[in-house]
Amino acid sequence: MLCRGLASVLMRLARNLGTLTLTGASTNANTLAPSLANATGGDTSLTKTGLGTVSITAAATYNDATAIQSGGVSIDVANALPATTALTMGNNTVGSATGIATLNVANNQTVTSLTVLSDSAANNQIIIAPTKTLTITSTVAAGFTIGMNATAAGVLKTNLIASGGGSLVHTNNTASAVFAVGNQSSNTAGAGGAVNADFSGLNNFSVALNTTTGTVRIGAAAARSNHVAGTPAVLTLAANSTLTANLLSIGEGNIYNGVLAEIPSLKLGSGANALNFSTINIATGGRDAGSVTFAGATGTLTLRDAAGTGAANFNMGTGSGATGVGNQINAFDVRGHAADIQLAVTSIGTSPRSIAGFTNTFSFDQGTLVISSLTTGSSISPPSPSPPALLPTPPTSTTAQTSSRPPPACSLSPASTPTPATRW
């Protein structure tokens, strides 16, 4: 086995466990030249620890998992890691400030799953060179997960920044496949997770899940039932991004604690964005909020069902919870951007909550918006005195509110009566 430049990098091969550990703090040009294969008598896994970076220059053939717990790994040849490996980035030890990982994709790399988890304000990084692609081809339900699940009181922080101008492609046709930004499902009192996943430094980002049962989820899982401060979940898309699955769920849990900066959010990219979901749910949990906006001044949006051709069902602020916290402002806001949106059954602000500050706003001003059926909450504030079905010009925004105050004069009544198909 030949290793160049690994003066302070320790390599251990434990044949009984089949684990190769690379560790050390050297910041020199550390190079691992041999092809990594299975240990005699069993599968081998690779673990990278320590603050240094290791460049892998030969394609590996080992069969087990790969963990970059800290420091960096550079993919200096195509599939330097096995295409069959499950990749984990970060250290899932609570309070581990050194558990931050960097993956430098200088050549094309395929893995079967990617999990990013850490407890630090520092950024895990994926750097993908222009014209190169990191491909995640999954056959397990949890094929792409960002964030730690807190099981004790406290807030665990996971940050991932993707840059370099390359492409990241995730495909998973497994039943109930999930791309999760925010992995909080524990109901432990005071436990929460804060997640920021920023792919804006990439040129292309694509997620294609099972179109019948797949879910893109931003925020705590629906099973989460107690609210904790300091737990935002934010997904920022690459310049050109396509998300496809049965369900887009933003704020399906019960963790929001009334701080506007912590609303689970999807931020669209600066180029062409395509959202293909049969159903879009925003703030449909017990008390969670949610928003969809553009990250910057440029970008376009096309919104369709999972097949990419029909209309999507749309729900915002429709959770069953009757109580909540103030400052619950849910928004779908694409003003200033060309949008082509087709919605089927659409419900906005029908939650029975009676708290002040529970607001749901759908804003659109350029392109085409088709809504087949619209149901709103107890009060609605359209941009003009005319009912929405009769608006002659594109609306700037429609805000539905549920509160204990009497509805304004322009309320729709009855609230549950769908409007006919409307085109703006």
Helix (H) or strand (E) holding 342: strand 339-348
Q: How large is the average pLDDT for residues 182-199?
A: 76
Give the Cα separation of 388 and 352 in Å (integer).
22
| Residue-averaged pLDDT of the chain | 79
Q: How large is the average pLDDT for residues 13-39?
A: 55
From the CB of residue 392, how many other CB atoms can be counted at a distance below 10 Å?
A: 7
pLDDT at 4 over 50: no
Instruction: Assess contact for 101 and 71: CB atoms under 8 A.
Output: yes
3-state secondary structure of 388: helix
Question: Per-residue confidence at 44, pLDDT binned at 50, 70, 90?
Answer: confident
**Residue pLDDT, tens place only, 117-175:** 888 889 999 999 999 999 999 988 999 999 877 666 666 788 999 999 999 999 999 99
pLDDT at 319 over 80: no
The pLDDT, as a whole number, for residue 377 is: 78
Give the Cα separation of 210 and 109 in Å (integer).
22
The pLDDT, as a whole number, for residue 255 is: 60
Q: DSSP string of 55-94?
A: EE-S-----S-EEE-SEEEEE-STTSS-TT-EEEES--ST
Question: Per-residue confidence at 42, pLDDT binned at 50, 70, 90?
Answer: low
3-state secondary structure of 412: coil
Give the Cα separation of 127 and 138 in Å (integer).
21
Give the Cα separation of 316 and 331 in Å (integer).
8
pTM value is: 0.84
Q: Which stretches within 81-230 are classed as H helix?
A: none
- Dihedrals phi, psi of 31, to nearest 5 degrees: -125, 130
| Residue found by looking up tokens 């550079």 in the block | 74
Longest dimension (CA), the chain: 79
More confident residue, 221 or 16: 221
pLDDT at 381 over 60: no
The pLDDT, as a whole number, for residue 215 is: 96
Least trusted range by pLDDT, from 45-54, 159-168, 198-207, 225-234: 225-234
**Residue pLDDT, tens place only, 83-129:** 999 999 998 766 555 678 999 999 999 999 999 988 888 999 999 99
Q: How large is the average pLDDT for residues 44-51?
A: 85
For residue 211, the one-letter residue type is T
- In angstroms, the Cα distances linking 341 to 280, 302, 348 are 12, 6, 16
Question: Per-residue confidence at 36, pLDDT binned at 50, 70, 90?
Answer: low
Burial of 182 (0-12, 13-18, 19+ CB in 10 A): buried
